[in-house]
Amino acid sequence: DADVTQTPRNRITKTGKRIMLECSQTKGHDRMYWYRQDPGLGLRLIYYSFDVKDINKGEISDGYSVSRQAQAKFSLSLESAIPNQTALYFCATSETVQETQYFGPGTRLLVL
């Protein structure tokens, strides 16, 4: 089984809808991250969490919110989706010391 899983893998939604992307991990890592990837722009950090009680904004947090329900679960919400949030979204985890990040398979989101 995959160490980092994301659901759903694909999602089509309409402008103005609220949606949630979920991430679960079995690696036992404390740190979790949400990124979006757009062609030509690379991976950009949306939010990160160093433990259950710690949530931090990344480079592009506007329009997004997160919830860290447990060490193993980190959810990303789009409060009111807009077309320029169409992207590939990745969840990642890392150990505190080494910082190597382990990525999930991604969620492809299309906002119409």
User: Does 106 sit near other proteins (CB under 8 A)?
Assistant: yes
Report how far residue 34's alpha carbon sits from residue 104's, in angstroms, rounded to the nearest whole number. 10
Amino acid in position 58: G
Peptide bond just before 8 cis, omega within 30 deg: yes
| Tokens read off for 7 | 């659901």
* Separation CA 63–CA 75 (nearest Å): 14
Judged by beta carbon, residue 59 or residue 79, the one nearer other proteins is 59
Minimum CB separation of residue 45 from other proteins in Å reads 7
Q: Is residue 23 a contact residue for other proteins (CB under 8 A)? A: no
Overall residue count recorded for the chain in this entry? 112
Output DSSP code: residue 79.
Answer: S
Selected range binding other proteins among 18-26, 63-71, 78-86, 92-100, rule: CB under 8 A = 92-100
User: Does residue 66 bind other proteins (CB under 8 A)?
Assistant: no
- Interface with other proteins (CB under 8 A), residue from 48, 66, 68, 78: 48
Contact positions vs other proteins (CB under 8 A):
4, 40-45, 48, 50, 56, 90, 92, 98-106, 108
